Structure 1
């Protein structure tokens, strides 16, 4: 066996193992599994370096156990990545049974080929099981790459064993294995595939970690809704999309905070956000812009339909009677209700950005507040029926 490989693989796997553990500190669950997997593999490939210190059969049994542990963690990492059940007990039981077979082959039958065949097939089966369970749950190119490289690792194990164990037997005892073509091929292929496997896993894990932190930065922690930054990104992704914009604001919210405290006030905001998100049509999105103000974008929605949607939300929110529960047994509002006001604006070909439309919706919201709150104002002509959504004329040039 080339001594370069003997040192290269353990060092490379040690580096990747430590790298994954660093990534795991940023909250990646799968990185917590990739890291130990690579560290166990590094230890397994290091065993031959201590031949002079370990008895032959002892060294072989240790290496077998370390390889199995490595692939037990690899398969767990794949399952965690694709949010599949861990099947930990099943995988552990399988590994235990296969390891018992390896010990029999090594210590009783004294057959190195049988021992290594069982070890390789156990590792391939553990990883193959995770890949098979995860195939239908790929989300993006990094997932496809990871499963493709996993497939190469499995194929290498199977093909190598078919060739060097069954077709062209290349070793018998321990000394024959050390100098065999099988050992050289295993080390060479492992060097390449371990690098590819680690880079694919690291890319997928890092992308998810970045996406999770970006999502956290673009969401309001209290309600889970988009914040202004997240709203801007959604608008940018739908560049050119037109529709209706709605701005809504919880009425007399300062009075709620001053009377009952900020804790109950936060409960009101969360309740409104939950009600709003539950009613959003497909393709629409909403954001909390700050305080008690929310902005909704309904793509490809006519102005009248946007007004109807706003009125349904208004009625649903106003219908909640908080007298019965209240905060600390006290009712909310003079009549036990908390209401919200809404301003609605449609798209204008002259708009340079969505924020011009938002500005018109904000003027309509202001008119709803001026008209007595708990109303929907839609930019346009004044209404005939005061019980229907209110309409306010807004200068589109603003």
Structure 2
């Protein structure tokens, strides 16, 4: 068994492994993986054509392989465009593939011009990938994305360079379809395709795996009811801040929430919780973030905000929350919330010391009659504001 025969088995095996792996990722909900799986399975079929030479004439297998190759690159380009959120231009790419298949089939079956067939097929594949790389180059999100596009560009360069060298400069493609299978061109094609296919698949897998990890971490860090961060996500976000804990913290708690649940039911209680979460999310200044710490309690971190500014922000949220019309829930009085605020101190060893002082201020707000904002201090002081006790 010669080197070309080894490649004939090795390359489809490599591509089959990648195709099956991407198919499993597609079953896990990663839509992009479906494009990669289709591309690699088509590649398996294309590179397996020489294995059928004992059953069919190479002159028949050659245009079939051409059609499979260009179809594989249609899905490779589609995978890149989908990954980077670029327009798929499905109709245009399909029309281009159709023209390529017609041209290569004519070259192989009618004109019997092997060089023309090779050039048309290779450059069609390269054009599909070049289009996807050009459309996606400015939309990468991380280093894995950039690596994926670099390898795609290398595949284009390899394809174009191989055609220039082995077709035009030093013709090495054989004189017939049978001769092609034992030619230097076929060996070079399968050797470079094996290496680049392996690198391309690994880069695509790495990018897909990073997306999956990010997605699962995002789910793990967020509260499913409100979409805000949970306590774990809040701590991770604080730890990742370059500016540390400089700023102010607000803690808020819905007043008499147990009575809301007991009177209106848990479904209505969830709507009330979402209402407060929505106000927080909509009003947070740039760089700030909020979390649901549990039940009806929320914590917001406002970077580079003074205590007075934090108190004013909390009061805006308090007034807006109390003013929500909940008559559809059968409520004719306001549902209110109490707030406690604290700012960073040089002596704070962590944000949790600041949160602790805000929690003391919140407790003071509850003790003072609820529906108010209290600022940290010894004792905590009331934030002068208009009180809303009910709504029409």
Both proteins in one fold, TM over 0.5: yes
For residues 122 and 287 of structure 1, do their structure 2 counterparts lie closer, same or farther at Cα, with a shift above 3 Å needed? Answer: same
Q: Residue 212 of structure 2 aligns with which residue?
A: 209
Q: Given the two structures, how large is their TM-score scaled by the length of structure 1? A: 0.92
Describe the SS at the equivalent of 2:375: strand
Q: Which 4+ stretches in 1 moved above 6 angstroms? A: none
| Counterpart contact for 2:362–2:374, Cα < 8 Å | yes
| Counterpart contact for 1:27–1:209, Cα < 8 Å | no
Q: What's the offset of the Cα at 1:55?
A: 2.2
1:79 to 81, 92, 97: 81
Q: Residue 359 of structure 1 aligns with which residue?
A: 356
Q: What's the offset of the Cα at 1:87?
A: 1.9
Partners of 1:99 and 1:3 lie apart in 2 by 26
Partners of 1:57 and 1:271 lie apart in 2 by 69
Describe the SS at the equivalent of 2:48: helix
Q: Residue 6 of structure 1 aligns with which residue?
A: 8
For residues 181 and 309 of structure 1, do their structure 2 counterparts lie closer, same or farther at Cα, with a shift above 3 Å needed? Answer: same
Partners of 1:306 and 1:197 lie apart in 2 by 50
Aligned residues: 382
Alignment of 1:1-398 (within 5 A): 2-171=4-173, 172-238=175-241, 240-323=244-327, 326-327=328-329, 330=330, 332=331, 334-335=332-333, 337-380=334-377, 386-387=384-385
| Counterpart contact for 2:373–2:382, Cα < 8 Å | no
Q: What's the offset of the Cα at 1:244?
A: 0.4
Q: Residue 390 of structure 2 aligns with which residue?
A: none
Partners of 1:122 and 1:220 lie apart in 2 by 48
Q: Given the two structures, how large is their TM-score scaled by the length of structure 2? A: 0.93
RMSD over equivalenced CA pairs, Å: 1.7
Partners of 1:94 and 1:292 lie apart in 2 by 57
Q: What's the offset of the Cα at 1:75?
A: 0.9
Query: For each residue in 1:117-145, what CA deviation from the matched residue of structure 2 results, as whole angstroms up to 9, or x when unmatched?
Result: 11111111111111111111111100110
**Which segment is superposed worse, 166-175 or 113-122?**
166-175
Q: What's the offset of the Cα at 1:24?
A: 2.2
Gaps of 5+ in 1: 390-398
Partners of 1:386 and 1:115 lie apart in 2 by 82
Gaps of 5+ in 2: 388-392
Query: For each residue in 1:201-235, what CA deviation from the matched residue of structure 2 results, as whole angstroms up to 9, or x when unmatched?
Result: 11111011111011111111111111111001011
